[in-house]
């Protein structure tokens, strides 16, 4: 599952230079199996429970092959009208499945990180500080502030670095016991910053944080954003997809007051990496931040969207095709069934953990991710951290499953994520049995050595 390759193994098996003459495909494929496959970690395996578990629906493999066969570059409408228009239509379908207002329009990016960078660039442009023309250097500008929490995904801080905001201006707002941003603390921080002459630029609320899948109170955060005329970006990369379920629609409550929202079909909508959807209320601001048409790209059509105007990149893959294939193959009901099954499996796993005195649940688990740890005996926290880390290494080294870990309140937690469409109850049960088996061995070893 987790590749057993050591650093440098793959490089050492490959020649230093490209072959001078073409080679038969059998030789290439032979080396693919011999050299590449041992260096692959099997993301598409039903017992891959690490990070956010994902899956590529079989039909999307065909969509990717078709997109590559046609080698479409969807930079301008005219460079493949079908790619641009299918993207508009499919993103409108998804918007309606998620219950997001029609006031938002969608744009596909490769990843949520690039979508987040684009949203922050738009937030900076919306300040009307003439940064597009005059830049940020050699002139007086207020400090531009970005508000996140300790649980916000790291791409936001990276975007702030790249956009010249500076890490010192990325402010971490305190969270409550369930790891959710405290809106009153946000309000106080913004008021303090304003008094110091700083300029709030963007608030980032997360629906489904990476470590624990906690959800910030978007509604209350949106009122603070409105009050201070600050861009609100909602990062719903993983958990936003669950709003396709009527019983989880409330995950996106309040997002209609946001300026931008990102959801990742490549996380939990059975589309292979990469495909991330950014919904923006004012696409003209994104366009203002990025549009720059070189002479060789001039085009004569009116009333069409040229997606190259909405981001840094010019060339764009035909990503909408794979999302279209998934939505049509499964239909909304089929997708709902799969999401419900993942959530139910995660809840059942959490029940097994809760009922065993040697283990504990360490964070709320409303969706398909469970954070837990071995907690047996009267061991000191540091010892428990070490035990859990050894357990993680042991189960992953078994090759039978792959889980990851995180830190919650400074303590090591194991994280089991369910998101592969082929994961069965038997797979989750096998993971639990393997965890318990390795836990007894590690504990016995530890007790012998004390």
Peptide bond into 78 cis (omega under 30): no
Task: Point out which span in 108-116, 140-148, 406-414, 425-433 binds ligand PLP (CB under 6 A).
Answer: 108-116
Measured between alpha carbons, how far is 438 from 424 in angstroms, rounded to an integer? 21
- Contact status: 368 vs ligand PLP (CB under 6 A): no
The stretch among 118-126, 232-240, 401-409, 421-429 that binds ligand PLP (CB under 6 A) is 232-240
Minimal distance, residue 241 CB to ligand PLP, in Å = 12
Q: Are 190 and 200 in contact (CB under 8 A)?
A: yes
| 3-state class percentages of the chain: helix first, strand second, coil last, to nearest 5 | 50, 15, 40
DSSP letter assigned to residue 211: T
Binder to ligand PLP among 87, 193, 216, 235 (CB under 6 A)? 235
Which region, judged by CB under 6 A, interacts with ligand PLP, from 160-168, 208-216, 287-295, 344-352? 208-216
Binding span for ligand PLP by CB under 6 A among 87-95, 110-118, 162-170, 331-339? 110-118
373-389: burial string, b at 16+ Cβ within 10 Å, e else: bbbbeebeeeebbebbe
Binding flag, residue 210, ligand PLP (CB under 6 A)? yes
Which of 50, 57, 94, 112 touches ligand PLP (CB under 6 A)? 112
Structure tokens at 313: 């990149």
Interface with ligand PLP, residue 206, by CB under 6 A: yes
Q: Contacts with ligand PLP in 45-64 (CB under 6 A)?
A: 52
Check residue 80 for interaction with ligand PLP (CB under 6 A): no
**Which strands form 369-374's sheet, in the order they lie side by side?**
359-361, 369-374, 411-417, 404-408
Q: Nearest 5°: phi and psi at 196?
A: -90, 10
Q: Give whichever of 165 and 234 is closer to ligand PLP, judged by the CB atom.
A: 234
DSSP string, 233-257: EEE-TTGGGGGGSGGGGGGGTTGGG
Total residues binding ligand PLP (CB under 6 A): 15
* Contacting residue, 237, 321, 335, 439, with ligand PLP by CB under 6 A: 237
For ligand PLP, the closer of residues 238 and 290 by Cβ is 238
Contact window for ligand PLP (CB under 6 A) among 20-28, 106-114, 305-313, 366-374 = 106-114
Of 153, 182, 248, 342, the residue at the interface with ligand PLP (CB under 6 A) is 153
CA distance 311 to 333: 33
> Which positions from 249 to 288 touch ligand PLP by CB under 6 A, shown as an x/- string?
---------------x-----------x------------
Measured over the CA atoms of residue 56, residue 58, residue 63 and residue 64, the dihedral's sign is: positive
Q: Kindly report the backbone phi and psi dihedral angles of residue 421, in degrees, each rounded to the nearest multiple of 5, phi listed first.
A: -70, -15
* Angle, alpha carbons 187-212-96 (nearest 5°): 75
Q: Which residues of the shown chain bind ligand PLP in the complex (CB under 6 A)?
A: 52, 111-113, 153, 155, 206, 208-210, 235, 237-238, 264, 276
């Amino acid at each position: 599952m987790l590749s057993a390759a050591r650093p440098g193994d793959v490089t050492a098996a490959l020649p230093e230079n490209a072959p001078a003459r073409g080679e038969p495909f059998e030789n290439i494929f032979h080396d693919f199996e011999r050299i590449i496959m041992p260096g692959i970690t099997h993301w598409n395996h039903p017992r891959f429970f690490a990070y956010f578990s994902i899956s590529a629906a079989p039909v999307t493999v065909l969509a990717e092959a078709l997109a590559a066969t046609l080698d479409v570059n969807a930079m301008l409408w005219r460079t493949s009208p079908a790619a641009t228009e299918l993207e508009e239509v499919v993103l409108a379908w998804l918007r309606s499945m998620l219950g997001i207002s029609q006031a938002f329009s969608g744009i596909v990016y490769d990843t949520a990180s690039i979508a987040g960078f684009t949203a922050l660039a738009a937030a900076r442009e919306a300040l009307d500080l003439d940064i597009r023309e005059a830049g940020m250097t050699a002139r007086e500008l207020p400090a531009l502030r970005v508000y996140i929490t300790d649980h916000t995904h790291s791409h936001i801080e990276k975007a702030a670095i790249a956009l010249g905001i500076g890490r010192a201006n990325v402010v971490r707002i305190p969270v409550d016991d369930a790891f959710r941003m405290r809106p009153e603390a946000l309000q106080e921080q913004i008021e303090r910053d304003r008094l110091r002459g700083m300029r709030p630029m963007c608030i980032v609320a997360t629906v489904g944080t990476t470590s624990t899948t906690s959800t910030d109170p978007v509604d209350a955060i949106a009122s603070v954003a409105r009050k201070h005329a600050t861009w609100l970006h909602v990062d719903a990369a993983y958990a936003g997809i669950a709003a396709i379920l009527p019983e989880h629609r409330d995950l996106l409550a309040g997002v209609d007051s946001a300026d931008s929202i990102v959801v990742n079909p490549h996380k939990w909508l059975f589309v292979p990496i990469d495909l991330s959807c950014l919904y923006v209320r004012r696409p003209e601001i994104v366009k203002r931040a990025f549009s720059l048409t070189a002479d060789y790209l001039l085009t004569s059509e009116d009333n069409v969207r040229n997606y190259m105007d909405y981001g840094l990149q010019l060339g764009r893959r035909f990503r909408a095709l794979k999302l279209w294939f998934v939505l049509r193959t499964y239909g909304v009901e089929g997708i709902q069934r799969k999401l419900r099954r993942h959530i139910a499996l995660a809840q059942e796993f959490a029940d097994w953990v809760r009922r065993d005195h040697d283990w504990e649940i360490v964070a709320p688990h409303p969706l398909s991710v469970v954070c837990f740890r071995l907690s047996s005996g009267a061991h000191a926290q540091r010892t428990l951290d070490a035990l859990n880390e050894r357990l993680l290494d042991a189960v992953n080294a078994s090759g039978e499953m792959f889980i990851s870990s995180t830190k919650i309140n400074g303590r090591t937690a194991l994280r089991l994520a369910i998101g592969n469409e082929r994961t069965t109850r038997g797979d989750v049960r096998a993971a639990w049995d393997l965890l318990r088996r390795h836990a007894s061995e590690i504990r016995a070893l530890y007790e012998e050595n004390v």
